[in-house]
Amino acid sequence: MAIYFDPLKIEYKKPFGAVLYGTTIDFGIKIEHEQVHSVTLNVIEDQRYAPKQVVEFQPNKSNHWIGQFTANNAGLYFYYYEITLQDRTIYYGAKESGMSGSGQWYNNLDEVHSYQLTTVSKIEKVPDWYKNAIFYHIFVDRFNNGNPDGKVTAPKPNTFLYGQMSDAPMYIRGVDNEIARWDFYGGNFKGITQKLEYLQNLGVTALYLSPVFESRSNHRYDTADYLQIDSMLGSLADFDALLAACHQRGMHVILDGVFNHVGSNSRYFNLYGTYEDLGGAESENSPYFSWFDFSEFPTEYNSWWGVKDLPVVNKNDDAYQKFIYKTPQTSVIDYWTKRGVDGWRLDVADELPDNFIKGIRTALDRAGKDGETVLIGEVWEDASNKIAYGERHYYLNGDMLHAVMNYPFRSLMLKLLNGEISIMDFVLHVKTLQEHYPSWTFKHNFNNIGTHDTERALTMVGKSMDKFNLLVQMFMTLPGVPCIYYGDETGLTGGKDPENRAFYPWDDVNPEAMNIYQDAIAMRKKYSWLVDASFDMFPLGRGVGYMYYHENGQYVIFAVNPTDMTQTFTSGQADTSSMALWPERLVEMYLNDVVVKPYSMVAIDNS
């Protein structure tokens, strides 16, 4: 007996991928067996406790069965097949939990892995400036000091200042491994403003700034005051000047919104009595007391991953919601967005309730220019089906996040280059994400190959410049909006925090790394139309092929060689069985005897 079903192929499921709720979907399955009595598609709507929906399939032609299902609500549906034979009942589902592609049949229902169907409430419009952007992620303290004398602006008490900008970052810890002295290099807003010409010449069109609000630490994820710029970074006038300079150059700026927790040394918690305001840790009469969850006041409280410096805020507290987003004109989101900020990246988005994210999006749309602001979430996994703390998140279903940080792509690219994943599995994982995500999210996710939370990209490929070159080329040409982590283009290396947060080496740039970035950015700009094009990927022998095809007839095929040997690719090596007819023919016509050097890629186009 053989059973054929693959939701990545339109002959078995049409339309492809996520759909608008109310859409009717055509399903088909091929079963090579002489005694099939019945076939049903069993569909379970996620977390609505509704009864299983059963779709009776009808025989269409020899061995083929067809049926239709209409998704009446936005959210997630999970489905599998039940096949009744003469002597038994079997089931057909995915080979692995959370994966798409061809599946397998099971004898026991308890063993079945269901397929996922994503439905959305609306078609989101992503701002044009965002989908065409090349971002640059700046850890502000570590980028550039713009003061004429080079001195650190407004040093904090009881902190450590580095003697040289080339010093390796390190933490000074106490007896309990806590941070005893925070360390600073002195990067500031003036320093960023001075380097805008460099960034624009590199090809950068937008900045993503690490947190900039008043805090005790150098990373500033321990917010002390959401309405004050941290004095070490400069004044409010310096921040405004940076925004104005960016906008004058046609560049955009998004901020890091840390709304899940605050600092223990904040005006809101005020554990150390630093602020005149009565903090939540000081008195139950504090206006901020309801923001926090104390198990034993004032010493035991809910904190982020048990880090006592980061008390978690109750996101369902009405006073906190009013402060962050509910109050027009004066909320945190309103205040900074009206000041000219073009969007926000939400820290630990999977720890924020969906209604909280929706409230932020409402405020952002209210305060920003119509349809010109963007909201991005920090999610490390497939964000279409993320469960955190027992709650499913639907933040991609409409009126919440436009996109998420694309850590899955980073992981897949590194595994491919380091020989830790097969070609088939690499392609399947990418296409699973393509099927699970709304099309605008997949096309415009916030891509990275390194951040302040990860090892440096060059370190992750064993400092191989050949692998690094291919990594950056894929980074710039796969679907999504690329965000360069500051200093990666100089060849900076380093493990996890704090090694990945060194000061930008202005006097020690690796020219080979810089050339790699310049060439890859030039390639992306050459194919700027790909942000609006259709995308497909396919196994290509020992390599990977992916292509974009535009309705105006433009196309480009990228042939990727992730091995240490030269490869000659032909269309006969390409598994294009899941592709639509026209792009499949393009591959057959133009992918012939394409020679690709080790750890390289070649573009074939009709320009």
Written as six digits, the tokens of 208 are 């993503």
Nearest CA-CA partner of 530 in 493, 491, 478: 478
- Per-residue HEC secondary structure of 314-332 comes to CCCCHHHHHHHHHCCCCCH
Cis omega (within 30 of 0) on the bond before 498? yes
Give the start-end residues of each E strand in 411-542. 446-447, 481-485, 534-540
pLDDT, position 394: 96
What are the 10-residue block averages of pLDDT along the chain, 607 residues in total? 95 96 98 94 83 94 94 96 96 97 96 97 96 98 98 96 97 93 98 98 98 98 98 98 98 98 98 96 98 97 96 98 97 98 98 98 94 97 95 95 98 98 98 97 98 98 98 98 98 98 98 98 97 96 96 94 98 87 83 96 92
State the Cα–Cα distance between residues 375 and 365, nearest whole angstrom. 10
Fold of 128-259+318-530: TIM Barrel (3.20.20)
State the Cα–Cα distance between residues 538 and 49, nearest whole angstrom. 38
**DSSP label at residue 211:** P
Considering 214, 256, 347, 350, which one is annotated as catalytic?
347
- Parse the chain into domains and list their residue ranges: 2-120, 128-259+318-530, 261-314, 535-605
Considering 124, 256, 378, 536, which one is annotated as catalytic?
378
Return the SS3 of 163: coil
Return the SS3 of 58: strand
Written as six digits, the tokens of 104 are 């397998």
Do the domains 128-259+318-530 and 2-120 match in fold?
no
State the Cα–Cα distance between residues 468 and 477, nearest whole angstrom. 14
To the question of domain 2-120 being in CATH 3.40.50.300, the answer is no
- Per-residue HEC secondary structure of 235-289 comes to CHHHHHHHHHHHHHCCCEEEEEECCCECCCCCCCCCCCCCCCCCCCCCCCCCCCH
Question: Model-level pTM?
Answer: 0.97
Q: Is 490 exposed, middle or buried (0-12, 13-18, 19+ CB in 10 A)?
A: middle
Written as six digits, the tokens of 302 are 């809910």
C-alpha count within 13 angstroms, C-beta hemisphere, residue 76? 20
State the Cα–Cα distance between residues 489 and 511, nearest whole angstrom. 9
For residue 256, list its beta bridge partners. Answer: 345
pLDDT, position 48: 59
378 is catalytic: yes
Distances in Å between the alpha carbon of 225 and those of 216, 293, 384?
10, 19, 33
Amino acid found at 403: A
pLDDT, position 583: 81
